[in-house]
Structure 1
Amino acid sequence: MIESAYNKKSKTIVLTLLFLTWIVNYLDKNSMNIAIVAISKQFQLTPTQSGMVISSFFLAYAIMQLIGGYLTDKHGSRKVILASLLVWSVFTVFTGFAWSFASLLVIRFLFGLGEGSFPSASSVALAETFPKEERARAKGVLTSATAIGAIVASLLAALMIKSVGWNVMFYLFGAVGFVFSLLLWKYLRPAGQSVKSDRPKVSMAKVLKNPLAWKLMLIYFGISMVNWGLSSWMPSYWVNVRHIELVKTGMISIIPVVFSLLAINSSSWLMDKMGAGKERFIIIAGSLIGIISLFLMMNAGSVTMAVTYLCIANLGVGLTTVVLAMPLKYFSQDSMGSTVGIMYFGGQMAGTIAPTLMGYMITLFGGSYDAAFTLLIVSLVIPIITCFFLRLNKSHLDERTKAA
């Protein structure tokens, strides 16, 4: 077993560093959702091509979820986190040098390969540092960082594109990544890796046969269709349909994410307090809220009402992110990276599908976003159905304890 030292200092350092790195992660990743408006005009891209540029990242990102999770179980979280951050920072800079549609596809694909190992590795770092009863809240903090990163990316990207251009923006964001690579190299020391011990052999075949891992993947796939679909196309929707200026779009994008933050932290706190198996009720409730709110948003008669319903939708979908903490609660630490990798694989496949498919639907229906938003509504049915087949009880926790 990998030993863990649950001391306050190590928990604070690891959580703080991972929190800040997740913000950098989303700054590099989500800035493309704003930049694609200017890039599409410069390179004369169709909505389908714009969606493909965004999806090329997620295709590679999804592939690396499985590989990165396995590598984390085999080599430890610190090495994988450092390598991932360094590679994705390089290709963030390269994004600024893109000169065509084809170059964007290649660069963003390689960027996704570099970044894809980070989610699993960061979850394992938490498991190595926090006791089981605190992991959901710790994961909630990291998930909050993704929402904060989305806020910062939306606002900062819009301002920088207007002032210095999208090319320079990516150069600067990549430089920030290099700075954090040095900080992580010096200070990131997950407690579970501070004790010298042989890491157990990881059985990927055994992990792949676990039905619970695939159910969590399906839940996260449905949730992520909405998350990535909205983050990819809402900026364009505000500009092209609601006729809002780009910088104002960035400011509007902040408001719904605040509701996500509230929901993420509330659901994570509830998960640590609730008994085994009750998480599915949070996921079902959040999905239903999202379905109703997205339908109302797409039919809203004003920008104010559209933003209001989008805020409520973010609140609902934010509740469902409790699924991200479930592997930390129900799986042994020795195979956690691989398990988290399977779940994140589903999420990033959604990131591959949603932007391109929504772009195709927008093109097919002459610029109307109704069919694209309907796709997201249908996607939230997947977590609801899956939850009816999700059976978790105390035996899962007992089994996990024996495995650990």
Structure 2
Amino acid sequence: MTSPRVQPAAPPAAAHQPGAVGRTRWFIIWLAFAGLTINYLDRSSLSVALPFMGEDFHLSSTQQGFVFAAFFWAYDFFQLAAGWYVDKVGPRRSFTIAAICWSVFTMATALARGFWSLITVRFLLGAGESPAPSTAAKVVATWFPVRERAFATSVWDSGSRVGAVIALPIVTLIVAVTSWHTVFIVIGCLGLLWALVWWKVYRGPREHPSCTAAEADYIESGGARAAANDDEAAAALSWRSLFRYRAVLSMMFGFFCLNSVIYFFITFFPSYLVTERDFDLLQLGFFGAVPGICAVVFGWLGGLAADRAVRRGHTVNRVRKVTIVGGLTGGSVIMFAALVPEAWMALVLLSVAYSSLTIAGTGIWSLPADIAPSSRHVGMLGGIQNFASNFAGILTPILVGVLVDRTGSFVAPLMVIGCLALLGAVNYLVLLGRVQPLRVKTP
């Protein structure tokens, strides 16, 4: 096991004030946010549409769990390759090709005719979406100084919440007006349109026509990860060597615990509201969006607070750990949502849990840029931790489906995933170590 390199305190403010150097970096990250929103809209659409596809698909809860898990079999399997690919070709190409693939496979869902065809298209969709989060993490590492990294991360990461939130009203409206087939055609076309815009717009800070030299200097002097600043020995570190670091193993396990709870919201959450809380179509489309909206707002506020703490002189190590450990602890209250008697009480607890987990997620997705030994490892680290985390996407839907079928309620599965959130908090607190760039072992 190698020892970590000591990370200096947050870089001092650049000579130029942020508002005076330009804001191209914020346009770039909001464009990435739009891409992740469409990404999660595609991913979440089936979970919203499936309860209303009963005339065509007579699936048990266990079968639904396998359909949801099929996405993550491919999504998870391709994570390591996706992280390497992002570092190899850069965000412009990786995001564009990924968006084209996931959009085509989303539209193919309209052609599904049974259990196995749904399994197939969801598997292909997972493969197409696999480079998206590592690409977004790479964009933040490239375009943002340390003092703005948490909020920039919260922006693109909130696309996952926004996509899941708008899936509820959009999908239910389209189903009510036309049919479930139309849902997948419409959102697939949105993805293709975004891919075209990203390809035409995205460049690195020094190559982008709208990015001034002052803004590029501000980004680089503030600690953004750039190839020009890489240590030669660190840049040569192989991706396999990353698994030797305790911090990387902790990132993998902790993110698995967080996603064990997050993926409940992406898969069985609509079914929970319909079957356990007797929500009808209108209530599902309106009240079902509340936890996701809260998660978006508090995720942004958490990112802003974290960046403000760094600017005030708090160490990155302390800020990231408070954010992640506190967020996972708050997320554990999901276990009580199944025990309260009233639907509004459950919605409050679910909103607290989802918001807390989103705050933790901003810290977790900041870690690849924080601890990468060089700029060439940011995408790879994102892929590694996402690879481990999405075992939760494979296991959680099946576990929830089986427990619901056997117990007749959501009490047992929510208790299990709530405990996993607490376990994740302990992991980051005890095992992660200092949040600082990894150092190559010297002879």
How many Å apart are 1:266 and its aligned residue? 2.8
Query: Cα distance, 1:217 vs. partner?
Result: 1.6
Displacement after TM superposition at 1:30 (Å)? 0.9
Q: Aligned-pair distance for 1:175?
A: 0.8
Equivalent residues of 2:161, 2:295 under 8 A apart:
yes
Query: Corresponding residue for 1:339?
Result: 381
Distance 2:197 2:279 in 1: 39
Judge conservation of contact 1:89–1:174 (CA < 8 Å) in 2.
yes
- Of the structure 1 ranges 234-243 and 84-93, higher mean CA displacement relative to structure 2 is found in 234-243
Conserved? CA contact 2:328–2:357, under 8 Å: yes
User: Does residue 222 of structure 1 match 2:257?
Assistant: yes
Displacement of 1:296 after TM fit? 2.6
CA distance in 2, matches of 1:147, 1:311: 12
Tell me the equivalent position of 1:318.
Answer: 358
Q: Give yes or no for contact 1:74–1:201 (8 Å, CA) kept in 2.
A: no
User: 3-state DSSP class of the match of 1:43?
Assistant: coil
CA distance in 1 between counterparts of 2:135 and 2:328 reads 27
- Which residue in 1 is equivalent to 2:329? 288
Rg larger for:
2
Residue 318 (structure 2) pairs with residue 262 (structure 1): no
TM-superposed deviation, 1:244: 1.1
Does residue 1:92 correspond to 2:106, yes or no? Answer: yes
Which residue pairs with 1:203 in the alignment? 238
Distance 1:152 1:123 in 2: 23
Please state if 1:79 is matched with 2:93.
yes
- Give how far 1:276 is off: 2.9
Call closer, same or farther: CA 1:208–1:397 in 2, change over 3 Å: closer
Whole-Å Cα distance in 1 between the matches of residues 154 and 379 of structure 2?
17
Match of 1:3 in 2: none
Decide whether aligned partners of structure 1 residues 132 and 283 sit closer, same or farther in structure 2, where only a CA change above 3 A counts.
Answer: closer
C-alpha separation in 2, matches of 1:237 and 1:71: 37
1:371 Cα deviation from its structure 2 partner: 1.2
| One-letter amino acid of the structure 2 residue matched with residue 359 of structure 1 | G
SS of alignment partner, residue 112 of structure 1: helix
State how 1:302-317 maps to structure 2 within 5 Å.
Answer: 302-317=342-357
Equivalent position amino acid for 1:360 in 2: V
Gaps of 5+ in 1: 1-5
C-alpha separation between the residues in 2 aligned to 1:31 and 1:391?
35
Give the secondary-structure state (helix, strand or coil) at the position aligned to 2:277. coil
Q: CA deviation at 1:11?
A: 0.7
Q: Count matched residues.
A: 392
Deviations 1:304-353 (A, max 9, x none): 11112212222322222121112222223210100010111122211111
8 Å CA contact 1:154, 1:250 repeated in 2: yes
Structure 2 residue aligned with 1:159: 173
Cα distance in 1 for partners of 2:337, 2:438 equals 44
Please list the CA deviations of residues 53-89 of structure 1 after superposition, one character each: whole Å capped at 9, or x if unmatched: 1110011111121110001111212111111001001
Q: What letter matches 1:176 in structure 2? A: L
TM-score, with structure 2 as normaliser: 0.83
Name 1:360's counterpart in structure 2. 402
Structure 1 residue 183 corresponds to structure 2 residue 197: yes
Q: Does 1:110 align with 2:124?
A: yes
When residues 202 and 83 of structure 1 are mapped into structure 2, their CA distance, relative to the original with a 3 A threshold, is farther
| 1:34 CA drift (Å) | 0.4
For 2:390, what is the secondary structure of its paired residue? Answer: helix
Shift of residue 397, structure 1, vs aligned partner: 4.7
Counterpart of 1:353, as a letter, is L
Q: Deviations over 1:124-183 (max 9, x none)?
A: 122111223222211111122222222111221111122211111101111111111111
Q: Give the Cα separation in 1 of the matches to 2:109 and 2:396.
A: 21
For residue 390 of structure 1, what is the aligned residue in structure 2? 431
Per the alignment, do residues 212 and 192 of structure 1 end up closer, same or farther by CA in structure 2, a change over 3 Å counting? farther
In proportion to residue count, which structure has more helix?
1
* Structure 1 residues 351 and 389, CA gap change in structure 2 (3 angstroms): same
**Post-superposition shift, 1:106?**
0.7
Counterpart in the other structure of 2:410: 369
* Equivalences for residues 99-138 of structure 1 within 5 A: 99-138=113-152
- Post-superposition Cα deviations, 1:265-305, rounded to whole Å, max 9, x if no partner, equal 233233332413222233332223222x3233111111111
Contact 1:223/1:379, CA 8 A, preserved across alignment: yes
Residue of 214, 221, 241 corresponding to 2:276: 241
Per-residue deviation, residues 179-215 of structure 1 (Å, max 9, x unmatched): 1111111112232676998996662112232321221
User: 1:379 aligns to what?
Assistant: 420
TM-score (norm 1): 0.91
Query: Structure 1 residue 149 and structure 2 residue 163: aligned?
Result: yes
CA distance in 2, matches of 1:166, 1:66: 33
Secondary structure in 2 aligned to 1:301? Answer: coil
- Aligned AA (1:224): N
Superposition misfits of 4+ residues, deviation over 4 angstroms: 192-202, 397-400
Q: For residues 392 and 364 of structure 1, what CA distance do their matches in structure 2 show?
A: 40
